């Protein structure tokens, strides 16, 4: 399998040697078993530059001949959907060649129908540009459905950002105190220090404002003096930097209330859907780390512009940002080599970062605004989980609670005020629907809920439109419903056709085959061809089984560490965007969570973002975040003798 990350245009790599030559859509299609026609006078790879024009934006780029279309787009800021980082495994980088010659590759027939191939559809990562092309790129959903809020709690408002209005006496021959000392003497309840950047403007602001100023202090640093009385205006932005989605919340620090909240797809997406793929990109390409840093900086900067515009706030009035995210995201955002995170013994550069500024994350707020970054417990239990535990008060509660952040790398914590243990389970991309045949992000057209009632199939589709695919919550619902009605047995295998015809005659026609693989059709999309339908394949079921087994093994090991069983658990918190839309009943039916009373299973939403907001509103809570590092015990799953046996036991669906 090709595991190389996308390369820059100046470092074009050769296309697949196994390409089946064929003419462009304007000529006869060359497919396996048909007449192959080689493109005329194709230049050698890299021998000359070719021009690509991308529709509908109309952007034009010039790249060396032989550069994959995906790479040409990615390195020029044109987003093409992908979850594998351009390795040819997800088959989601669909583009249409409007003009020019791109032969059909060996993977294209697996992703497109014959009609679509004739229309010019190709996989961008396997389409080499050996001549001038006009390429149509389907619009990428940059705002997938995401949880913008979650379970939180009230805190005492005591932000790190403080303002004091000062009317100072002018210097005289009798009073020759320095400008800085004059300000510090007036700040009777604060003892800040300042930086050289602050000193450079201090004197001029004092004199131009007639010695009537507002001192801005953040974390005991005097970061600015502003003319007049601006004490009513102080803001912070809380970021939840996720692998898939980045959420920003603008907070009014006077009232403690959110002013605006926005989310965007993380622009690192072309490098892969999961952290391991992105780490691999940095290992294979020396320029990838810089590109990944720039992409997340662009995402955060765009969100700053959006929330400030909505809240009618000058970005210079944002005096601090707080950030939570997994360890890999923080490494990539700050340009720290993430390679040690990808291999045993999985060592982080540091659990608690030194002082950093908002500008280190590429955001344009107050130029001296600091950034508070949540500490991490381990390589795969990062600051986002610490923020989640802070928001839910997991370490303060007398009840035994199970916290699960469901995703590609699922973090799990179990405990109470007496003791908390945590771990990370490598669930894979199934919950993001990345490797699912008809999988897609939680965007308009995605099936997010499935209900089988008798012989009727009821679908909940985002945007109330015709289905085009299925997202993670829809995948879990579909499998849970099929297990419950008996069309899937407890081993995860579709039952024989004869049995399906007897038990569910109205659904049996949906249980069919594509090639040699059995599938269940969720929506026929107006036709009778299962390949054109939205369906659930046998392989999709297996992907979900592996994912849920990994998570279930994780919390079972944590229960073993504490010497408890399901009956001791008072509450299950399902965190993150996926957890917010997951049906508790479906989670129980597939064995993703313990079998407890449904009202005790809570969709906690974006608790990481709530933790980031709490940190912006209270310096006392930041101390609590750091104390979590001392109180929570990290349990490493890799290398445990009991992991494999427990994992196998969890593969089947509950009886």
**What pLDDT does 455 receive?**
83
Using omega within 30 degrees of 0 as the cis cutoff, is the peptide bond preceding 56 cis? yes
Q: pLDDT at position 435, please?
A: 81
Name the nearest CA neighbour of 394 among 558, 597, 226.
558
Whose tokens are 């787009």? That residue is 73
Confidence of residue 224 (pLDDT cuts 50, 70, 90): very high
Segment 490-536, tens digit of pLDDT? 999 999 999 999 999 999 999 999 989 999 999 998 888 898 899 99
- How far apart CA 357 and CA 369 sit, in angstroms, is 6
What is the predicted pLDDT for the residue at 13? 36
pLDDT of residue 356: 95
pLDDT exceeds 50 at position 24: no
Q: Which domains does the chain have, with CATH numbers?
A: 9-136 (3.10.20.30), 161-227 (3.10.20.880), 235-373 (3.30.420.480)
Beta strands per DSSP E along 454-538: 456-461, 469-470, 511-514, 517-523, 534-537
- 91 vs 521: CA distance, rounded Å: 20
Measured on CA atoms in the order 506, 511, 513, 516, is the torsion positive or negative? negative
Global model pTM greater than 0.75: yes
Lowest-confidence range among 142-146, 223-227, 507-511, 643-647? 142-146
How many other CB atoms are found less than 10 A from the CB of residue 466? 11
Q: From edge to edge, which strands make up the β-sheet containing 257-265? A: 257-265, 245-252, 235-241, 318-325, 370-373, 356-357
Q: How far apart are the C-alpha atoms of 352 and 628, rounded to whole Å?
A: 12
Asked if 38 and 21 touch (Cβ cutoff 8 Å), the reply is yes
Work out the mean pLDDT of the chain and round it to a whole number.
86
Give tens-digit pLDDT for 276-301: 889 999 998 899 999 999 999 999 99
Is the predicted pLDDT of residue 474 greater than 90, yes or no?
A: yes
pLDDT, residue 25, reads 34
Query: What tokens appear for 479 in the block?
Result: 């499998």
């Amino acid at each position: 399998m090709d595991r190389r990350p996308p390369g820059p245009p100046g470092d074009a790599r050769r296309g697949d040697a196994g390409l089946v030559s064929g003419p462009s859509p304007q000529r006869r299609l060359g497919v396996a078993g048909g007449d192959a026609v080689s493109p005329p006078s194709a230049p050698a790879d890299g021998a000359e530059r070719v021009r690509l024009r991308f529709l509908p934006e109309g952007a034009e780029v010039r790249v060396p001949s032989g550069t994959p279309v995906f790479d040409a787009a990615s390195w020029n800021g044109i987003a093409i959907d992908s979850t594998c980082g351009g390795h040819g495994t997800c088959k989601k980088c669909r583009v249409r060649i409007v003009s020019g010659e791109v032969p059909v590759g060996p993977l294209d027939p697996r992703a497109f129908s014959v009609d679509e191939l004739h229309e010019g559809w190709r996989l961008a990562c396997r389409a080499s540009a050996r001549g001038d092309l006009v390429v149509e790129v389907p619009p990428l959903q940059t705002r997938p459905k995401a949880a913008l809020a979650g379970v939180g709690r009230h805190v005492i408002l005591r932000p790190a950002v403080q303002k004091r209005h000062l009317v100072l006496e002018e210097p005289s021959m009798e009073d020759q105190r320095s400008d800085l000392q004059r300000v510090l003497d007036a700040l009777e309840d604060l003892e800040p220090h300042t930086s050289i950047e602050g000193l450079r403007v201090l004197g001029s602001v004092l004199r131009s404002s007639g010695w009537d100023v507002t001192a801005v202090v953040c974390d005991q640093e005097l970061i600015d003096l502003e003319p007049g009385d601006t004490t009513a205006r102080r803001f912070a932005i809380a970021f939840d930097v996720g692998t898939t989605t980045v959420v920003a919340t603008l907070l009014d620090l006077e009232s403690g209330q959110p002013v605006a909240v926005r989310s965007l797809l993380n622009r690192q997406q072309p490098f892969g859907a999961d952290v391991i793929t992105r780490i691999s990109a940095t290992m294979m390409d020396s320029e990838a780390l810089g590109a990944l840093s720039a992409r997340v900086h662009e995402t955060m900067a765009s969100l700053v512009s959006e929330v400030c515009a909505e809240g009618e706030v000058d970005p210079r009035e944002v005096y601090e940002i707080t950030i939570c995210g997994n360890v890999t995201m923080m490494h990539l955002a700050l340009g720290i080599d993430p390679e040690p995170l990808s291999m045993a013994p999985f060592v982080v550069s540091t659990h608690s970062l030194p002082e950093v500024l908002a500008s280190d994350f590429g955001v344009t707020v107050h130029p001296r605004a600091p950034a508070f970054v949540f500490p991490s417990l381990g390589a795969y239990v990062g600051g986002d989980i610490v923020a989640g535990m802070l928001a839910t008060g997991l370490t303060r509660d007398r009840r035994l609670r199970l916290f699960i952040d469901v995703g590609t790398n699922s973090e799990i914590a179990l405990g109470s005020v007496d003791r908390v243990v945590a771990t990370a389970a490598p669930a894979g991309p199934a919950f993001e629907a990345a490797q699912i045949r008809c999988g897609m992000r939680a965007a308009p057209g995605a099936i997010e809920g499935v209900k089988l009632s008798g012989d009727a199939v009821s679908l909940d589709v985002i945007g109330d439109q015709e289905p085009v695919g299925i997202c993670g919550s829809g995948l879990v619902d579909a499998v849970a419903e099929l297990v419950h009605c008996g069309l899937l047995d407890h081993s995860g295998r579709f039952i024989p056709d004869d049995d399906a015809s007897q038990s569910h005659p109205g659904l049996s026609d949906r249980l069919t085959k594509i090639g040699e693989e059995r599938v269940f059709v969720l929506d026929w999309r107006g036709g009778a061809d299962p390949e054109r339908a939205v369906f659930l394949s046998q392989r999709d079921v297996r992907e979900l089984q592996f994912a849920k087994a990994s998570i279930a093994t994780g919390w079972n090991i944590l229960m073993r560490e504490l010497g408890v069983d399901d009956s001791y658990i008072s509450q299950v918190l399902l965190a993150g965007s996926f957890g917010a839309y997951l049906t508790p009943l479906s989670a129980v039916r597939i064995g993703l969570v313990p079998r407890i009373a449904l009202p005790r299973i809570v969709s906690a939403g974006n608790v990481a973002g709530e933790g980031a907001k709490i940190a912006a509103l209270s310096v006392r809570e930041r101390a609590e975040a750091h104390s979590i590092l001392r109180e929570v015990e990290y349990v490493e799953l890799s290398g445990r003798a009991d992991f494999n046996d427990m994992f196998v036991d969890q593969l089947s669906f509950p009886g």
